Amino acid sequence: MPEPLVKVRDLKMHFPIHAGILRRKVGAVKAVDGVSFDIFEGETLGLVGESGCGKSTVGRALLRLYEPTSGSVVIGGEDIATLAPDALRKKRPTMQMVFQDPQASLNPRMTVAAIIGEPLDEHTDWDEAKKTERVYELMDQVGLNRRFANRYPHEFSGGQRQRIGIARALALNPRFIVCDEPIAALDVSIQAQVVNLLEDLQDRLGLTYLFISHDLSMVRHIADRVAVMYLGQIAELSPRDALYAAPLHPYAQALLSAVPEADPAVEATRQRIILKGDVPSPANPPKGCNFCTRCPKVIPLCREEKPRLSEVQPGRFVACHLVAANQDTAGGHASPGPEVREHNQQGELS
């Protein structure tokens, strides 16, 4: 197996809560609480989960737009999480980001040429002509008319703005791009264009993506492997086809059961797993498994001990006592209950 391009180990991102007259720290929002995964060169890792589960925080902590509380993020052999500011700045060209809201991610007072050229201004000592040439080249690459170079972001449609954002991310030939819900703010017809553009660029430039999204169908389309997050932790990380065919973690099952089917016959028989209750506060997560308060298959062990993310099948990582129990004890477990048995069968199908 090749060495992964991005190696994230036990990444934690806690935001302190200050309260009282003295603004003392009274706790922390555990937005990301011990996340580990690898991304291999040239692949797309999808990161899905519901709102507020820490997807975007992972993406931002990966590029050290936030200072991670602990853990390591090794990109191309260097630990981003502890790099000195100067070295980090030199490292920036290899990792870039495409943002969610193309309106907010472009400075309204800069022209397209200035926006796309900003990375070049910061990291190259090229003369104006060479920079302009590169800006035009990038605009061609993302399908923007060169004549738009002097226009301002408000003169563009959402899809075009996202293309500007992508061109800016590509300016320095990065190897790794974090796509933070790049299509969430776009119309469906435009979403397809932007996703196809991203795939096309990946083929041509050999890019590696972390694709953060809550659109499960889109992730199925673009990702090679998918990580499902719940409340700051990864519930399941599996190859795309295996995950969509048979999710192992109860939360992944519930999440994927919400994806509508295109075929009306299948759609009519689709069984939705409706979760009860609310997501616990990330400032005060449950003692055991983060999902134990809402899990339909909860067992007493879940409330006591946090499950670890472990490889239960080749390439499939799941953080669940039920799935792990199946592996460890091979049926010798004291009556896991009917739901669990059914669940295991599901897992073995894949």
Partner 1 sequence: MTDTTLNIEKVRGPWADVWAQFRKHKGAMAALVMLGTLAIFCLLGPLVWRIDPNFIESDTVKMFKMRNQGPSFAHPLGTDQLGRDMLARMMFGGRISLAVGTVAMLVAIFIGTTVGVMAGYFRRIDGLLMRLTDLFLALPLLPLLLVMIFLFRDPIAGVLGPRLGTFLLIVMAIGLTSWMQAARVVRGEVLALKEREFVLAARSIGTPSRRIITRHILPNVLSPVLVAATLGIAAAIITESVLSFLGLGFPPDFPTWGRLLYDGIAEIRTYPERVLWPGLAISLTVLSVNYIGDGLRDALDPRIRGR
CB of 24 to partner 1, least distance (A): 15
CB closer to partner 1 out of 128 and 203 = 128
Length of the chain: 350
CB closer to partner 1 out of 79 and 122 = 122
CB of 38 to partner 1, least distance (A): 22
3-state secondary structure 216-247: HHHHHHHCCEEEEEECCEEEEEEEHHHHHHCC
CB closer to partner 1 out of 119 and 247 = 119
CB of 46 to partner 1, least distance (A): 20
CB closer to partner 1 out of 90 and 287 = 90
Q: 171 burial class (0-12, 13-18, 19+ CB within 10 angstroms)? A: buried
CB of 135 to partner 1, least distance (A): 8
Distances (CA, A) of 348 to 220, 242, 245, 246, 258: 21, 11, 11, 9, 22
CB closer to partner 1 out of 79 and 267 = 79
Distances (CA, A) of 303 to 292, 306, 333: 6, 8, 18
Q: Which two tokens stand for residue 77?
A: 């052999």
CB of 157 to partner 1, least distance (A): 15
CB closer to partner 1 out of 118 and 224 = 118
Contact residues toward partner 1 (CB under 8 A) are 60, 63, 65, 88-90, 92-93, 95-97, 99-101, 104-111, 113-114, 118-119, 122-123, 128, 132, 135, 146-147, 149-150, 152, 154, 165, 168
CB of 85 to partner 1, least distance (A): 9
CB closer to partner 1 out of 47 and 319 = 47
CB of 169 to partner 1, least distance (A): 8
CB of 104 to partner 1, least distance (A): 4
CB closer to partner 1 out of 140 and 305 = 140
CB of 164 to partner 1, least distance (A): 11
CB closer to partner 1 out of 147 and 204 = 147
